[in-house]
Structure 1
Amino acid sequence: MSGKLYIVGIGPGDKDLRTLRAQRVLEESQVIVGYNTYLKLISDIIEGKEVIGARMKEEVFRANVAIEKALEGKVVSLVSSGDPQVYGMASLVFDIIARRGMTLDVEVIPGVTAGLAAAARIGSPISLDYASISLSDLLIPREEILKRVESAATGDFVILLYNPINKPLLEETMSIISKFRSPETPVGIITKAYRQGEIKEVTTLRDWKKYENEIGMVTTIIVGNSRTYNAGNLVITPRGYERKYEL
């Protein structure tokens, strides 16, 4: 008899930013599966449950074991940081189920993404159209990533950069963006948003490299568009009200 598989977004890490639905689902689950770092972020709620942890690059193992436990008739939560559809586990789980022709009750529980959390820490930089791009080239060729970066830059989107751990790729990315943006374009560099040890810097496209040593896997970089501006330590992208109304 099949059980139930929840793919749960736990948000950026702070307990207060979990959704009520995510909290209830985790409480109801008999089995919790996740990357070890994510399990530490929900340590307050997993005591007494069957917990299956995994290391980085073991996503396929996590997906398979969560599916297997659900097929055994258990209620299972497979956790992702942020939202499970945004560079998380949802796609992999559904892909495996579809390829194998399996029947399983699966529900995605959305969560606050790293991009939303990082943006909130520096004002309102993503109030208009934005593009989200992962700089992880473990699964996607760098040429494909850079093509997307150029498309976002030419389209004047605010750009959210996830997983900027590959420094040569990050530098090439920022170089491409710099061809289409002013050197004074605001750049936010936020590490561990809403987690212990959070670091946030507001700089410009010209000066971002001053903070390159602070950038890691849990950093989100936000590059403004042509209308984004700094106001003290805030980064603001106007929605266009100033074009029609007296502010």
Structure 2
Amino acid sequence: MGCSVCALTTPALLSLCLKHSFTKCFQSAYEIDRGFAEVQSYLTYVLLGISIVSLILTLVFLLPAKALRSTRSAKINICFTTALLLASLMFLIQDAFISADDTGVIKLKSTGCAVYAMIQHYLWLVVFAWMVVEGFLMYLSLVQVFGSHISKCMLKFNLAAWGIPLPIPFIGYFVFTKRHTVGSFTFTEHGYLADTMCFIRPESTSFYTLFLAPIVLVILVNLFYYLTLSFCLIK
């Protein structure tokens, strides 16, 4: 979307439209080189494709091995791999349904686009949650060796990893999507959905609080586990 001025008769709506237009002009002060964007896109497809194949192979080798599959660490790895595989597939195939020029099967900022974005958001949060679970398991296994047994651990881990992230995409969409009415005109301000894809709007409050913050939290928690483990090994 470029810089534009809305020719509307309602002064308040005209003022608001001008504000959004000039804001978008300011945010788009530089243009990414087309060749660089194409190379980046190809690299994304190639590397993500390799990752998906590797994840599938991981499941192919783990699932038939009954003895290995029965261990707690293997079960957690299977859950983590499954979540990462689903999230990667959703990201990879979105170009088949969604187009930046809004000619795809799923229209930008539509209900279908919102659902697709929320599913992607949820799956990546689940991936982050399983990362914390893996770090916690490593802490239990190597630091707190005695008393590390947790009854029905996989049930509790699954409820935490799949359940805790569930309300976050709904909160993000309904809190940051606002409808405005000025006179006889009604329009929607999308603070959650991006303009050219069905995902969280980059560089927005929703992106920082509901996507980037969980990543930072996961890094800090696992860093704590790592430092605790290192301290115990040195001691």
Q: TM-score scaled by structure 1?
A: 0.20
Q: TM-score scaled by structure 2?
A: 0.21
Greater helix percent: which structure?
A: 2
Larger Rg, first or second structure (1 or 2): 2
Greater strand percent: which structure?
A: 1
